[in-house]
Structure 1
């Protein structure tokens, strides 16, 4: 009889914890239902940034993981870190030679 009581309390506890977890997760998603708060980059900007990032990854001379690429209306901003000034220049060159790029702002820092 005592075992049954302990099992029942344990089941109730797990049930309450499960409900609280679900409520917490759902409340975190509530802001996603308001379309006014959601802003996204235009598709062309995202595609351009992805093209540049993939070209940086293909380069054997750069650590592309340390370089962040943002694009807006053909203007590309490179941020992050590189090892040398030659790598900094190479990243700019790769970005500039990508179709659709009008201007490159190279804010990469040399470590």
Structure 2
């Protein structure tokens, strides 16, 4: 992805390998995939957790999806903060 070429942005490779961070990422991913109201783009969002801080990246279809993904991440046990970098896909 063009947006991932910038070394300042987190990518899935930056995921911490601690048990807690892996558990958080897995829980968010499961909740997102189970949510049938989300678009394929939203279900394929990049989820990166580092020390309890979750970064969400990628395109979504609407502001409502962006808010819903943020809420899912924020409600996940162990999450300290959510950095919502989701972008609304251009029409």
Alpha-carbon offset, residue 46 of structure 1? 1.2
Structure with higher Rg: it is: 1
Matched, 1:90 2:68: yes
Q: Which runs of 5+ in 1 are unaligned?
A: 1-39
Mapping of residues 18-57 of structure 1, within 5 Å = 41-57=17-33
Instruction: Report the RMSD for the aligned CA atoms in angstroms.
Output: 1.1
Task: Classify the secondary structure of the residue corresponding to 1:79.
Answer: strand
Counterpart for residue 99 of structure 1: 77
Q: Give the 3-state SS of the residue equivalent to 1:56 in structure 2.
A: helix
Residue 61 (structure 1) shift: 1.9
Rounded to whole Å, the distance in 2 between the matches of 1:46 and 1:98 is: 12
Which structure shows the higher helix fraction? 1
Report the TM-score, using the length of structure 1 for normalisation. Answer: 0.61
Aligned-pair CA distance for 1:54: 0.6
Residue in structure 1 matched with residue 51 of structure 2 by the alignment: 73
Query: Hey, what's the Cα distance between the residues in 2 that align with 1:61 and 1:53?
Result: 14
Moved more, 101-110 or 42-51: 42-51
- Aligned residue pairs, count: 71
TM-score (norm 2): 0.73
More strand by share: 2
Q: What SS does the aligned partner of 1:107 have? A: strand
Which structure 2 segments of 5+ residues have no match? 1-15
**Structure of higher RCO (CA pairs closer than 8 Å, 6+ residues apart):** 2
